[in-house]
Amino acid sequence: MSALTIPSVSFRSDVLPFDEQFAGWQEQVASVFDVAPVADTDRGFPAEVDAYHVGDFVLARTRFAPQYFLRTSSRTRSDRLDHYLVQFYREGGYIGRVGEENVRVEPGSVSILDTARTLWTQATSAECLTLIVPRDIMDDVLPASGNLHGLVLPDASGGLFGDYLASLERRLPGLEVTQAPHIVRATCELLAACISPSAEHLDRARDQIEILMRRKVTRYIDKHLRSPRLTAAAISRAVGIAPAQLEALFEPLGGIEQHILSRRLERIRSEIARSTRRRSITRLAAAYGFESREALRRAFRAAFGYAPEELAVRVERDLADGGAGSGTWREGTATLTRWVRTLRR
């Protein structure tokens, strides 16, 4: 029996009618960005995606026509993505505003975006390699990194990491799933080495105290998601923070109780997505403190737009297909979206 290779999905807009090409591309990136075309798309919208699920991160090569990329404050609150996007623009680039800063990315540059923060950019026609890295993975190798949102690496270190990503993208189709953990570690260590000199000399830490405290609380929450005693009061005592301060800290995320619910739902989604067998939704509901299976279904659907049973069916179908991302482009879109949403250890 041959070893499983790294799972991948692909998309080409030219297989669609002209008037559907941008909508097809829009679905590809909808898990991360809202997008809008710069020019009329009645005559088509050239776009390509080749994405690979490499253990704890996703690497995607995209080629696209000029467009706007957007993440609003309401979007960051609602989808709760907590990843870094490390982007190497082999061709083209973008200008715009990330958080409170203006940014310009030139061809050949490596830049970093934080999905928990807002952005508005206008990109030229471009080819881009994007590494999607969960925040907790990055924190392991680059603690107290400060605000990386909008950081453009210096030419030397950015060129080094860009060359590495290009080499990795060429070789991933022939690599095996068992190699993924080693690739993840090596990639993150190299990225940390490339970022550190810049992070030490940039004044990007004005929000660092709140960021670190929020992460500390979230780590405590994640360790106790199955506990029926996981309350705001218990967290205040354990972490050493006043209840009012705790609530204020998580007010941008809808409050501490909403954050606990969100982390539980994301853990449940991750357990379903990563399982090699059908999970009992009733047991998951009981394990994570929901009053009933139906209560979990309501909360899950409100958060993600589909029921946990629907995700379980998708997972079974992907496993039956060998994880290769075969099928229609819409099936590939669903697979890529699931990869991005469930990037969490």
The CATH number for 272's domain is 1.10.10.60
Instruction: Tell me, yes or no, whether 163 and 221 share the same domain.
Output: no
* pLDDT over threshold 60, residue 208: no
In this prediction, residue 325 carries a pLDDT of: 41
Instruction: Tell me, yes or no, whether 12 and 124 share the same domain.
Output: yes
Instruction: Tell me, yes or no, whether 179 and 223 share the same domain.
Output: no
The mean predicted confidence, pLDDT, of the chain is: 85
In this prediction, residue 165 carries a pLDDT of: 93
DSSP 122-144: EE-SEEEEEEEEEHHHHHHHSTT
The pTM of this model reads 0.67
Instruction: Tell me, yes or no, whether 103 and 137 share the same domain.
Output: yes
Q: Looking at the DSSP assignment, which residues form a beta bridge with residue 198? A: none
Average pLDDT over every residue of 143-169: 86
**What is the total count of domains within the chain?**
2
pLDDT tens per residue, range 213-222: 887 898 899 9
Is 36 domain-assigned? Answer: yes
Closest CA to 328 of 5, 4, 12: 12
Instruction: Write down which residue in 206, 229, 244 finishes a domain.
Output: 206
- Rounded CA-CA distance 41/300 in Å is 35
Instruction: Tell me, yes or no, whether 139 and 73 share the same domain.
Output: yes
Average pLDDT over every residue of 62-73: 95
* pLDDT over threshold 90, residue 193: no
* pLDDT over threshold 60, residue 327: no
Looking at residue 168, which CATH number applies to its domain?
2.60.120.10
Instruction: Tell me, yes or no, whether 22 and 140 share the same domain.
Output: yes
In this prediction, residue 148 carries a pLDDT of: 86
- Rounded CA-CA distance 50/339 in Å is 13
Higher pLDDT, 122 or 211: 122
Instruction: Tell me, yes or no, whether 99 and 231 share the same domain.
Output: no
* pLDDT over threshold 70, residue 320: no
Instruction: Tell me, yes or no, whether 234 and 198 share the same domain.
Output: no
* CA atoms within 13 A of residue 27's CA, in its CB half-sphere: 15
What is the domain range of residue 244?
Answer: 208-320
Residues 21, 44: contact at Cβ < 8 Å? Answer: yes
* pLDDT over threshold 70, residue 146: no
Is 327 domain-assigned? Answer: no
Instruction: Tell me, yes or no, whether 213 and 296 share the same domain.
Output: yes
